[in-house]
């Protein structure tokens, strides 16, 4: 049932993301930058919050007036900063929530990724606690409503008690010192949130915490425009002797507060704690399938200690240790608890080359269930079935679009767990075949790689910006890269047609049958 729900959400996300790609392009698509946008919103909140703090009066009588002075008397700066602070907070809540739902739809909470998922759940509580505390500081009627309802809500807990909770909103106990405590908490909780955010990405190498500059500027401009058009305003000043009956509800952060009036504190606690518990336990409630690819394995006989796999692993699952039997040398070591079996390390290994004349091709590091030897066998098998004058080979990714839909007598297709598993030497190997006119490498968009860095590292390898890279002239001339999402089959068809047209223009006699090698020669590869 969980996997069916995942697939339903994934289909919805892919449909929406495809539409956004048409507008923003892959690089600026905000759906691919939800985590980075959350960090970005956080820094906007911090900067705007520091400005507001400079002018904020922490006294019980001055808090409301200082906020009003900022909002109305200093509308051109303080007012915009207050609105920016408010809308960036809302934006962060939205992107964090969508990020969680999207990661769930992609199944990126299982296996080695459990830590990032599990550590993200407490961040939701810290985020909402920080925002609700900020509303309290304004000390208007909305703040009074929040204070009264929150005190009753927490008063249900035995460790706090109703009488103790009500002391926080009593005219006798509400003092300047109490407001100073609220300010301290509003500063301390975001600091804990920031610490938790960095713990959240601890196991991820080169985590994306900044959106592309163009997207960041666009988001900031939109927030500023919204702040000018619809500034954040206060309600009337809080008065504890009066009952608040009408408020401007913030449905983003205060969505459970109406439930407190309908259900009561006990059921709301049950709901929130229940949801949090289920979210935290999802990696174990719906574990990785038993037939999932096994984690990377190191073969010391073929590991020369180059450390390329160590540099390329997106999840810091590889470390370099003393070699088992080569004195003074290093070898890779894989932490099974961190490995996602993406195969990016196999694509970086210099010994993963099909040119080696051995009965069984074994590289220094590889995925046991998708070995380099298996890749060579599959490649040779696909080449043997090709025929015609415009033969090309297309490598795809299991998590991107389905390349198998374009397979025909002139198009061989091979789908990999990740495009990063493909060593550039395989493109050299295939390109040396005269009958093969080109090699097209496809996979996830670089901004939305399922394994984070597979597309980036592949592109850099094939552009000779990262080791290992293409070594033959044929490989450099015949290889082309095309990134596409799961619903962009039409774009792939167009890319293949365009690629064939470019190859024909570059080699005008390629279609002459007399210039082609015999099919028999191809089948003997």
Residue 311: what pLDDT?
96
Domain boundary among 282, 312, 339: 282
Give the per-residue SS3 of 157-188: CCCCCHHHHHHHHCCCCCCHHHHHHHHHHHHH
- The mean pLDDT value of the chain amounts to 89
Mean pLDDT value across residues 42-66: 94
Q: What is the Cα–Cα distance from 510 to 505, expressed in whole angstroms? A: 9
pLDDT of 112-141, one tens digit each?
Answer: 999 999 999 999 999 999 999 999 999 999
Q: What is the Cα–Cα distance from 334 to 330, expressed in whole angstroms? A: 13
Residue 291: what pLDDT?
65
Decide: 441 and 422 in contact? Cβ < 8 Å. yes
| Residue 191 and residue 322 in one domain | no
Q: Is residue 355 part of a domain?
A: yes
With the CA atoms of 328, 330, 335 and 340 taken in that order, what torsion angle do they form, in degrees rounded to the nearest 10? -170
Number of H helices, E strands in the chain: 19, 8
Q: What is the Cα–Cα distance from 468 to 8, expressed in whole angstroms? A: 39
- Tell me which residue has tokens 């960041």: 216
Q: Is residue 116 part of a domain?
A: yes
| Residue 269 and residue 393 in one domain | no
Residue 518, pLDDT above cutoff 50? no
| Residue 472 and residue 508 in one domain | yes
Q: What would the DSSP string read from start to end of 92-148?
A: HHHHHHHHHHHHHHTTTTSGGGHHHHHHHHHHHHHHHHHHHHHHHHH-BHHHHHHHH
DSSP 294: P
Nearest Cα residue to 379 out of 453, 334, 433: 433
- Tell me which residue has tokens 């907070």: 89
Grade residue 360 by pLDDT with cuts at 50, 70 and 90: confident
- Tell me which residue has tokens 């037939």: 291
| Residue 270 and residue 409 in one domain | no
Grade residue 506 by pLDDT with cuts at 50, 70 and 90: confident
Q: What is the Cα–Cα distance from 119 to 266, expressed in whole angstroms? A: 26
| Residue 208 and residue 314 in one domain | no
Cα four-point dihedral sign 8, 9, 10, 16: positive
Q: What is the CATH number of the domain that holds 63?
A: 1.20.810.10
Grade residue 170 by pLDDT with cuts at 50, 70 and 90: low
pLDDT of 204-233, one tens digit each?
Answer: 988 999 999 999 999 999 999 999 999 999
- Tell me which residue has tokens 């009627």: 141
Q: How many CA atoms lie within 13 A of 392 on its CB side?
A: 26
| Residue 272 and residue 332 in one domain | no
Higher pLDDT: 82 or 477? It is 82
Residue 77, pLDDT above cutoff 70? yes
- CA 40: distance to chain centroid? 14
What are the CB-based long-range contacts (under 8 Å, 24+) for 219-222? 219/30, 219/37, 219/40, 219/91, 220/44
Q: Is residue 29 part of a domain?
A: no
- CA 268: distance to chain centroid? 30
The count of structural domains within the chain is 2
Q: What percent of the chain has pLDDT over 70?
A: 93
Q: What is the Cα–Cα distance from 469 to 312, expressed in whole angstroms? A: 14
Mean pLDDT value across residues 373-381: 92
List helix spans (H) across 286-353.
308-312, 344-348
Residue 509: what pLDDT?
57
Mean pLDDT value across residues 62-89: 95
pLDDT of 225-257, one tens digit each?
Answer: 999 999 999 999 988 878 887 888 889 999 999
| Residue 106 and residue 130 in one domain | yes
N- to C-terminal Cα distance for the chain? 46
Residue 495: what pLDDT?
87
Grade residue 85 by pLDDT with cuts at 50, 70 and 90: very high
| Residue 172 and residue 108 in one domain | yes
Residue 243: what pLDDT?
82
| Residue 217 and residue 312 in one domain | no
Q: Which of the residue ranges 167-171, 177-181, 386-390 has the most confident prediction, judged by mean pLDDT?
A: 386-390
Q: What's the domain range around 149?
A: 34-236+262-282
Mean pLDDT value across residues 107-114: 93
pLDDT of 281-325, one tens digit each?
Answer: 999 999 988 767 789 999 999 999 999 999 999 999 999 999 999
Mean pLDDT value across residues 162-172: 59
Q: Is residue 514 part of a domain?
A: yes
Q: What is the Cα–Cα distance from 22 to 228, expressed in whole angstroms? A: 29
Residue 524, pLDDT above cutoff 50? no
- Tell me which residue has tokens 């619903």: 487
Q: What percent of the chain has pLDDT over 90?
A: 66
| Residue 225 and residue 306 in one domain | no
| Residue 390 and residue 455 in one domain | yes
Q: Is residue 11 part of a domain?
A: no
Residue 523: what pLDDT?
27
Nearest Cα residue to 63 out of 145, 147, 137, 168: 137
Q: Is residue 433 part of a domain?
A: yes
DSSP 396: E
DSSP β-bridge partners for residue 480 = 440
Q: What would the DSSP string read from start to end of 510-524?
A: TT-GGGSPPHHHHHT
Residue 187: what pLDDT?
94
Q: What is the Cα–Cα distance from 317 to 297, expressed in whole angstroms? A: 11
Nearest Cα residue to 317 out of 167, 451, 163: 451
Grade residue 164 by pLDDT with cuts at 50, 70 and 90: low
Reduce the DSSP state of residue 460 to 3 states and report it: helix
Q: Is residue 21 part of a domain?
A: no
Q: Is residue 454 part of a domain?
A: yes
Nearest Cα residue to 421 out of 346, 482, 332: 346
Domain boundary among 282, 312, 347: 282
Mean pLDDT value across residues 54-58: 92
Decide: 40 and 219 in contact? Cβ < 8 Å. yes
| Residue 274 and residue 402 in one domain | no
Grade residue 514 by pLDDT with cuts at 50, 70 and 90: very low
Strand ranges (DSSP E) for 179-286?
none
């Amino acid at each position: 049932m969980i996997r069916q729900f995942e697939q339903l959400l994934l289909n919805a996300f892919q449909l929406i993301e495809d539409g956004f790609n048409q507008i923003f392009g892959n690089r600026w698509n905000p759906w691919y930058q939800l985590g980075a946008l959350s960090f970005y919103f956080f820094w906007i909140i911090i900067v705007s919050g520091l400005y507001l703090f400079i002018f904020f009066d922490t006294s019980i009588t001055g808090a409301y007036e200082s906020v009003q002075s900022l909002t109305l008397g200093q509308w051109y700066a303080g007012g915009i900063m207050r609105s920016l602070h408010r809308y960036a907070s809302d934006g962060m809540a939205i992107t964090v929530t969508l990020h969680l739902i999207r990661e769930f739809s992609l199944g990126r909470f299982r296996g080695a990724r459990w830590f990032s998922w599990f550590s993200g759940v407490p961040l939701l509580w810290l985020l909402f606690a920080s925002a609700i505390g900020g509303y309290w500081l304004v000390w208007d009627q909305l703040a009074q409503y929040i204070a009264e309802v929150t005190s009753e809500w927490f008063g249900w807990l035995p460790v706090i008690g109703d009488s103790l909770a009500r002391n926080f909103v009593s005219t006798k106990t509400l003092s300047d010192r109490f407001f100073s405590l609220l300010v301290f908490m509003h500063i301390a909780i975001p600091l804990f949130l920031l610490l938790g955010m960095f713990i959240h990405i601890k196991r991820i190498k080169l985590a994306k915490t900044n959106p592309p500059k163009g997207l960041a500027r666009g988001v900031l401009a939109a927030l500023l425009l919204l702040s000018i058009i619809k500034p954040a305003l206060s309600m009337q000043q809080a008065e504890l002797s009066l009952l608040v009956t009408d408020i401007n509800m913030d449905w983003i952060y205060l969505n459970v507060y109406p439930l407190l009036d309908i259900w009561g504190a006990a059921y709301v606690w049950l709901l929130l704690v229940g949801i949090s518990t289920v979210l935290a336990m999802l990696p174990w409630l719906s574990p990785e399938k038993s037939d999932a690819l096994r984690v990377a394995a190191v073969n010391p006989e073929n590991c020369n200690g180059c450390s390329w796999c160590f540099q390329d692993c997106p999840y810091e699952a590889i470390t370099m240790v003393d070699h088992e039997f080569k004195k003074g040398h290093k070898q890779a070591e894989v932490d099974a608890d961190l490995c996602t079996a993406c195969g990016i390390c196999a694509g970086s290994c210099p010994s993963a080359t099909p040119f080696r004349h051995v009965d069984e091709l074994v590289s220094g590091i590889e995925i046991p269930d998708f070995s380099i030897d298996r890749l060579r066998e599959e490649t040779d098998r696909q080449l043997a079935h090709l025929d015609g004058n415009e033969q090309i080979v297309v490598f795809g990714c299991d998590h991107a679009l389905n390349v198998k839909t374009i397979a025909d007598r002139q198009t061989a297709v091979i789908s990999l767990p990740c495009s990063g598993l493909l060593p550039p030497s395989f493109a050299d190997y295939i390109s040396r075949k005269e009958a093969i006119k080109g090699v097209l490498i496809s996979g996830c968009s670089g901004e939305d790689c399922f394994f984070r860095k597979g597309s980036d590292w592949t592109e850099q390898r094939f552009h000779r910006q990262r080791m290992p890279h293409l070594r033959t002239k044929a490989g450099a001339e015949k290889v082309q890269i095309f990134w596409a999402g799961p619903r962009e089959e039409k774009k792939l068809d167009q890319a293949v047609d365009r690629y064939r047209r470019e190859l024909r223009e570059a080699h005008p006699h390629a279609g002459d049958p007399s210039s082609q090698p015999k099919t028999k020669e191809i089948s003997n590869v």
